[in-house]
A and B are shown apart, each in its own frame.
Chain A
Amino acid sequence: MTNFILRRLAQIPLALFAVAILTFFLARVAPGGPFDGARQLPVEVERRLLQTCHLDAPVYEQFVDFLRSWLSFKADGCTSMSLQMPGRSVWEIISEAFPLSLQLGLYSLGVALLLGLTAGIVAALRQNTWMDHVAMSTAIVGVSVPNFILGPLLILVFSLTLGWVPPARWDSAASWILPSLTLGLAYSAYISRLTRAGLLEVVRQDFMRTARAKGLPVRIILFRHGLRAGLLPVISYLGPAISSLFTGSMVVEQIFSIPGLGRTFVTAALNRDYNVVLGAILIYASFLMVMNLIVDVLYGLLDPRVRIES
C-alpha cells in the first residue's frame, strides 16, 4: 500500500510537468496576446512590453526560456507575475481567489452529500414507492437543469421575491446559501442516483442476506454492510467531483459575483494572461491528481476486493 502511494505521488510531478507544457503551447496558440486591445498601443511601448518577457520571440524560444526557468526552480518576473496586472504575482492572485473557491466547494459538497445521500438511501430502501419516484424524478431534473438557469431561478425566488438572502457576493453567511445550493444541487442529484443504484445492487448480494439471516438490526445492516459497499460508485465519483467543486465554477462565480478561482481562470484566459492561466491549471491538475489518489486509497480501504496486492 505504501509503495502504491509513493509510486503515485512520484508520478504527480511528472504529470504536472506534462500539463504545464501542454498549457504553455495551448495558451500561445490562441490568437492575440496579453497586450492586444481595441486601440493600437504606441509602437515603442508595445515592442518593449513584448520584449521584456520575450513574448515576441518564436514560441520555441519562449519555451526554452520557460523550461530553463522551471527546471532551475527560479521564478523570474516573466514567469511568476501577472502580465495583465502590473506588480501582482500569480501566487498572490491565486492565493486570494482559491480560498473562496475552496469555501464554496466545501459548502456545496456538504449540500451535495447531505441531500444526495439522504435521497439516494431513502429511494433505495423504499424502492418503487412514491418516495423513490419523487426523489429520482427530482434528481433527473437536478441533473438536467444547468446551473446558469438554476442560479437565477433561486435568486428570483429567494432573493428578489422573498428577500431572505442577498442575490450575490460572498460576504456574509446568508450570502453563502444560494451559491452553495446552486453548485451543490446538480452534484446531489448525481450522488442520489449513484447511491440508489449502488445500494440496490448491494442489497441483493449474499453477504447482505447473511447479515439479515444473522438477525442483525436493519440499521447495522444498512450502515455497516450495505453502505460500505454500496457507496463505492459514489466515492469514485467524488474524486473528480470534489476537485471540480473546490477549484471553482466559472458559471456560479460569475452569477453570484464571487472572486474565486474559476472566474480568475476564465478572465485570465480571455486576457491571455499566460502566467495566471498556467498557475490556475496547475492548481486544478494537482488537486485532481491528489483527489484521485485519495479515492483510490479509500477504495482499497472500503472494499476488501479491490485492495491492492503488492
Chain B
Amino acid sequence: MSCAADVGNDNDVYAPKRTSNENILRYNAYEEPATIDPSLVHGGADALIVRQLFEGLVSLEPITQIPIPAVASSWTQSEDGKSWDFLIRPEATWSDGRAVSAEDFRAGIERVLRPSTMSRQAPELYVLKNAKAFHQGKIAMVVGKHVRPRRPPFVTLQEDLTSTSTLATLATFEKGVAVELLDSNLRRVAGQRPLLLRKTPDEKSEVTSTLAPHQDALIIAKRGASKADRRQQAWVQLRPPDGGQAGWTREKHLIVVYPELNFRRVEGERRFSSRVPLRVAASDHADVAAWVDDDQEIEVLSKRGAWLLAVEPISGRSGFIREDHVDNEYGDRHWLLVRTKVPPPLGGDGRPKNSSYGWLPARELFRSGDLLGIRAEQDTLHFELEQPQSSFLASLASPAFFPLPQHVLVKSGSRWSRLEHLVANGAFILERRRSGDHLFLSRSERYWNRNDVHLDGVEVLFVVDEHTTLDLFRTGRLDALAPGHLPVEALPALKRSAAFRSSNLFASYFLNLNTTRAPFDDVRIRRAFHLAIDRRLLSKVLLGMSEPATHLVPPGAPDYPVLEGLAADTVQARKLLAEAGFPDGKKFPRVEYLFHSGAQHKLIAEVLQAMWLKELNVEVSLVNQEWKTYVKRVERRQYEIAKADFVGATLDPALFLGIFSSSSGDNHTGFRSTNYDDTMQKAKALLPSLERNQLLATAEEMLNRELPLLPLLFFRSEALVLPEVQGLAQNQLGTTYFKNVYFDGMRPHLPQRMPALDLENALKQRNQSPTKAGISPSHDGQEGIAEGAAFQKTHKEEKSSSPSFSKKKSSLSSEAVQESHD
C-alpha cells in the first residue's frame, strides 16, 4: 500500500465532499458541556462552548497563544508588574445591545471567588490580591466585648495561617507588660475587662484569655504602645473558619478591611414573617446551607453580639441552592439571622448542625472591591496582584475572568445561562440546543469584531462514540472533529487521509508508582521498571499517536531544557532488580497495574505487562476499572502502579512538577521530599526567568532520579478536518476558537493588510518546524498570526522525521511567543 499516493484523491474516504454548501461549520465536540455559565466551567467541554459565546479582556492568538486585545482595547502595567489597568472597548456590547462594562468583569470575577458559587476555577484567580483568603473564607470580623463600631470591619489573614497548627496557642509579651484590648482601628477600647496575664519561667507573659462564643476575633497590644508599635506587636486571636480551636497570630499578618455595607444590628428579638420566597445562601461553614420554601413562614431573629446573616428575598420560584446571591431589585440586603420555625439542634460549638435552617456569618458578605485586588472605574478595570506574574495576561483569556451580564443575572438568577435568558458578548450566540445531541451557535450581529467572523454558524455535535463519529465524517455530515478522539485501530487508514491533522500537545502520559509500600518503596525497583520499558516500541504500537518520553515535562515550555531521563537498559534493569533482592524476578510480589476503561489505556497496559514479563520476569496483573472507581482507588492509594496523565493549561513546567510536591492534592504516589518541596516553593515564588527554569529543572532531575512516576509518552493531538476548512488551529494547549474559521472560497471578508514585519522571524522559525503556518493578515492592527493552510500536509513530513524531540524543535512556539510579544 502506498502511503502518499491517495492523499487528496477520490479514494480518500476520510476526506469526503461536504454534503452541505452552507457557510456553517459542523464540528463534533464529542463531550457535551455540563454548563455554559462561565463561572461554573469545569473541564474542556464547558470551556469550548463558553469561549465561543463569551469573550474576555484578551483572547489568545490561535496558534502562538499570544494574548491579543479582545474586549480590552489596551492596557498598562505598573513598574513592579503588580497592578494592571485595562481599558474596556466602548463598542463591545452584550447580545442584547447593552454595553459591556468594567463592572460586568468585576462582578464576574467576584462571583467565581465567592465561596457559595462553588466554582472550580477559583484557584485560577488566586493571583489577585486577597482572592485566596476571600475564597477560603479566612476573613474574620473583629467584635471585641465592648467594641461597638458602627461598621464592623473585617480582618483577613494575609497568609494561610488559620489552621490550628499555624496559629499560636498563646500570645507572648515581655515580662510584666500590661496589655489592652484594641478595636479594629488599633485604637484602645475603653471600659474593657482586663485580660489575664500569666508569667512563664523564661521571663515572659502570656495571655490566656480566649474568644468568647460571640467573638470572631480579638486584638491586644502592649498598654500605651504607640500606633506604630501596635501595628508591629499587636496580637490577634482568631477563630479559624473551619471551626477549630481559636489561636493567636501577629497583627501584621492581617489586613483590616472596612466594608461599605450598612450592617444593622438588631438588639433583642424581632420577628417577621415573609410570603416572599426567601433564600439563605450557603455559608462558608457549609454545614449551614439552608433552604426556605416558598410558603414557609420564617422567623428572623438577631443573635446578641453577632453580626450575622443574610436573607435574600429572591423573586420567582426558588431554585437550586447553588444559586448565588446577586444584588437584586429588593435593594439592600437584610443582614439578619434566619431560622425556620423548627429550632435547630446545636452542635458542640454552638453552631447549628442541621441544614433545614441556616446561620450565615457576615464574613461572607461584603463588597469585594474593598478587599479583592479588582476595581471597576467607568471604562477601566484595575487589577492588583499578590505578586507579579507573567502569565497573568494570558490567563485573562480563561473563562474565570469572563464578564457576566449583571442585568440578566439580577433578573433571571441562576437560570440566566439557559437558552431563553442567555445574553453573551462573544462572536457567536446560542441559537438552539438539544441536549445530548447538538447546539447551534450563530454569528452574533452585536459582536464588536463581527466583520472578522466568517462563518454564519457552527453546529456543535456531541456524538460520543468515536466510530459513529467517523461514520458521520465519512458520509460528509461533519466538517471537523475535536482532537484526541480518533480510534487507535483506524489510525493507519486515517493517517493517509488529506483530512488528517496532527500537532503537539502540552501533555504527558505517565504511571504513578505507590512509593509508600513494597515493592515500589525501593528506588532500585522503580528504576528497574523504568529501564525495562522500550518506549519507542510502545509508541510504535500506539501507531504514532504519541512520542516516547523518559521525563515528565513535555517539550514546548519557553526556555525550559528537555531533560532526558534514563534510557532503556534491560541489563541494568535486571541488575537493579537482583540488588533489590529479586534475582531474575524470583519471589517478586504480585503487583497491580490500575487503569480505567479506554482502548489505548488497555493497549499501553498490555504492552508494558509484556515488557516487564520479558525483561524482568515479573508478573504484573492488570486491573481495568470504571472511571470513578479508578479515581477513588488512586486517591486512596490502593494500587502499586496506576495510569495517569496531565494536560497543561499554560506552557508552564511548574504545573507538571507541582503535582509531586508533598502538599499537592494530586500527588497520589506518596512521594515526599523536603528538598523537592523547597525547590518547587522557591521556583513558584519567582517570575518566569532563567533562574526559575533552573530551579524547575533541578526538580525535574530529582524526579528523574527518584522516579515516583514512570514517564511514558507525550501525546499528540490528532483530528480529522476537511481540507477546505481553514483557520481551525490546533495548538499545544488545545484551545479552539471558531471565530477564525472559514471555508475555502467562502470568506466574506478579505485580507485588508499584510502582516506586521516583526512576525517574519517567527514565521521563518515556524516553517522549519513540521507544522507550517500560512499567513493571513490580522484585522485590527494588532499582532497576530491568523492561521492559514497550516496543518494540511504536515503529517507526512512528521512521519519521516525522527520521533524524538530535539530541543530546537520543541522550543519553537515559545520563541515565537517571545518575539512577537516584544
Closest to A32 in B: B628
Q: Is the CB of B465 within 8 A of A259?
A: no
Cross-chain contact of B35 among A45, A87, A170 (Cβ < 8 A) = A87
Q: Is the CB of B468 within 8 A of A77?
A: no
Closest to B43 in A: A37
Interface string of A7-38 (1 = CB under 8 A from B): 00000000000000000000000111100111
Q: How far, in Å, is B318 (CB) from chain A's closest CB?
A: 8
User: Size range of the interface on B?
Assistant: 35 or more
In the complex, B434 has a CB within 8 A of chain A: yes
Q: Is the CB of A40 within 8 A of B666?
A: yes
Cross-chain contact of A84 among B34, B472, B477 (Cβ < 8 A) = B34
Q: Is the CB of A167 within 8 A of B475?
A: yes
Closest to A273 in B: B34
Q: Could you tell me the distance between the alpha carbons of A161 and B445 in the complex, rounded to whole angstroms?
A: 42
Q: Is the CB of A270 within 8 A of B628?
A: yes
Q: Are A77 and B321 also in contact (CB < 8 A) when A87-B414, A163-B475 are?
A: yes
Cross-chain contact of B418 among A33, A87, A166, A167 (Cβ < 8 A) = A87
Interface string of A68-100 (1 = CB under 8 A from B): 000000101110010011111000010011000
In the complex, A115 has a CB within 8 A of chain B: no
List of B residues within 8 angstroms of A272 by Cβ: 628
Q: Is the CB of A45 within 8 A of B417?
A: no
Q: Are A86 and B320 also in contact (CB < 8 A) when A36-B632, A51-B289, A168-B463 are?
A: yes
List of B residues within 8 angstroms of A48 by Cβ: 115-116, 118, 282, 284, 286
Q: Could you tell me the distance between the alpha carbons of A54 and B356 in the complex, rounded to whole angstroms?
A: 11
In the complex, A169 has a CB within 8 A of chain B: yes
In the complex, A122 has a CB within 8 A of chain B: no
| Stretch from A127-135, A152-160, A281-289 that touches the partner | A152-160
List of B residues within 8 angstroms of A52 by Cβ: 118, 282, 286, 289, 321-322
Q: Could you tell me the distance between the alpha carbons of A159 and B467 in the complex, rounded to whole angstroms?
A: 13
List of B residues within 8 angstroms of A114 by Cβ: none
Q: Could you tell me the distance between the alpha carbons of A163 and B19 in the complex, rounded to whole angstroms?
A: 12
Q: Are A254 and B135 also in contact (CB < 8 A) when A78-B321, A169-B472 are?
A: no
Task: Provide a sorted-by-A list of 22 A–B residue pairs whose CB atoms are within 8 angstroms.
Answer: A32-B631, A38-B645, A42-B120, A45-B119, A47-B286, A48-B118, A76-B321, A77-B321, A77-B322, A78-B321, A81-B320, A87-B415, A96-B434, A96-B436, A152-B467, A160-B474, A167-B475, A171-B437, A254-B464, A255-B467, A270-B628, A272-B628
In the complex, A206 has a CB within 8 A of chain B: no
List of A residues within 8 angstroms of B120 by Cβ: 41-42, 45
In the complex, A224 has a CB within 8 A of chain B: no
List of A residues within 8 angstroms of B43 by Cβ: 37
Q: Is the CB of B468 within 8 A of A168?
A: yes
User: Size range of the interface on A?
Assistant: 35 or more
Q: Are A96 and B474 also in contact (CB < 8 A) when A31-B633, A32-B629, A41-B120 are?
A: no
In the complex, B216 has a CB within 8 A of chain A: no
In the complex, B122 has a CB within 8 A of chain A: yes
List of A residues within 8 angstroms of B286 by Cβ: 47-48, 51-52
Q: Is the CB of B463 within 8 A of A257?
A: yes
List of A residues within 8 angstroms of B474 by Cβ: 160, 167
Cross-chain contact of B37 among A53, A86, A152, A169 (Cβ < 8 A) = A86
In the complex, A180 has a CB within 8 A of chain B: no
Q: How far, in Å, is A169 (CB) from chain B's closest CB?
A: 7
Closest to B597 in A: A270
Q: Are A51 and B287 also in contact (CB < 8 A) when A87-B414, A166-B477 are?
A: yes
In the complex, A256 has a CB within 8 A of chain B: yes
Q: Could you tell me the distance between the alpha carbons of A272 and B434 in the complex, rounded to whole angstroms?
A: 22
Q: Is the CB of B436 within 8 A of A264?
A: yes
In the complex, A44 has a CB within 8 A of chain B: yes
In the complex, A305 has a CB within 8 A of chain B: no
Q: Is the CB of A87 within 8 A of B468?
A: no
List of B residues within 8 angstroms of A294 by Cβ: none
Q: Is the CB of B122 within 8 A of A86?
A: no
Cross-chain contact of B471 among A49, A77, A160, A254 (Cβ < 8 A) = A160
Q: Is the CB of A255 within 8 A of B122?
A: no
Q: Is the CB of A159 within 8 A of B136?
A: no
Q: Could you tell me the distance between the alpha carbons of A138 and B628 in the complex, rounded to whole angstroms?
A: 41
List of B residues within 8 angstroms of A44 by Cβ: 115, 135-137, 284
In the complex, A149 has a CB within 8 A of chain B: no
Tell me the number of A-to-B contacts counted with CB atoms below 8 Å.
153
Q: Could you tell me the distance between the alpha carbons of A36 and B120 in the complex, rounded to whole angstroms?
A: 12
List of A residues within 8 angstroms of B645 by Cβ: 38
Q: Is the CB of A77 within 8 A of B320?
A: yes
Q: Is the CB of A254 within 8 A of B465?
A: yes
List of A residues within 8 angstroms of B629 by Cβ: 30-32
List of A residues within 8 angstroms of B463 by Cβ: 168-169, 257
Closest to A89 in B: B320
Interface residues of B in 70-101 (CB under 8 A from A): none
List of A residues within 8 angstroms of B509 by Cβ: none
Q: Could you tell me the distance between the alpha carbons of A88 and B32 in the complex, rounded to whole angstroms?
A: 14
Cross-chain contact of B475 among A77, A159, A170, A270 (Cβ < 8 A) = A159
Among B287, B320, B664, max chain A CB count under 10 A is at B320
List of A residues within 8 angstroms of B293 by Cβ: 74, 76
Q: Is the CB of B319 within 8 A of A77?
A: yes
Among A37, A45, A54, A255, max chain B CB count under 10 A is at A45
Other A-B contacts than A36-B632, A42-B120, A169-B472, 11 sampled, CB-CB below 8 A, are A32-B631, A37-B631, A76-B293, A87-B320, A87-B415, A97-B435, A159-B475, A169-B461, A254-B465, A254-B468, A257-B465
Among A36, A159, A168, max chain B CB count under 10 A is at A168
Q: Could you tell me the distance between the alpha carbons of A48 and B119 in the complex, rounded to whole angstroms?
A: 10
In the complex, A196 has a CB within 8 A of chain B: no
Interface residues of B in 503-561 (CB under 8 A from A): none
In the complex, B626 has a CB within 8 A of chain A: yes
Q: Is the CB of A167 within 8 A of B472?
A: yes
In the complex, A39 has a CB within 8 A of chain B: yes
Q: How far, in Å, is B627 (CB) from chain A's closest CB?
A: 6
List of B residues within 8 angstroms of A78 by Cβ: 321
List of B residues within 8 angstroms of A43 by Cβ: 665
Among B123, B135, B322, max chain A CB count under 10 A is at B322
In the complex, A193 has a CB within 8 A of chain B: no
Closest to B465 in A: A254
Q: Is the CB of B136 within 8 A of A270?
A: no
In the complex, B605 has a CB within 8 A of chain A: no
Q: Could you tell me the distance between the alpha carbons of A88 and B33 in the complex, rounded to whole angstroms?
A: 12
Question: Which 6 A-B residue pairings sit nearest by Cβ, starting from the closest?
Answer: A259-B436, A32-B628, A40-B665, A167-B471, A51-B286, A77-B320
List of B residues within 8 angstroms of A87 by Cβ: 35, 37, 319-320, 322, 414-415, 417-418
Closest to B286 in A: A51
In the complex, B676 has a CB within 8 A of chain A: no
Cross-chain contact of B436 among A32, A81, A97, A166 (Cβ < 8 A) = A97
Q: How far, in Å, is B64 (CB) from chain A's closest CB?
A: 26
Q: How far, in Å, is B708 (CB) from chain A's closest CB?
A: 17
Closest to B475 in A: A167
Q: Is the CB of A42 within 8 A of B355?
A: no
Q: Could you tell me the distance between the alpha carbons of A288 and B465 in the complex, rounded to whole angstroms?
A: 29
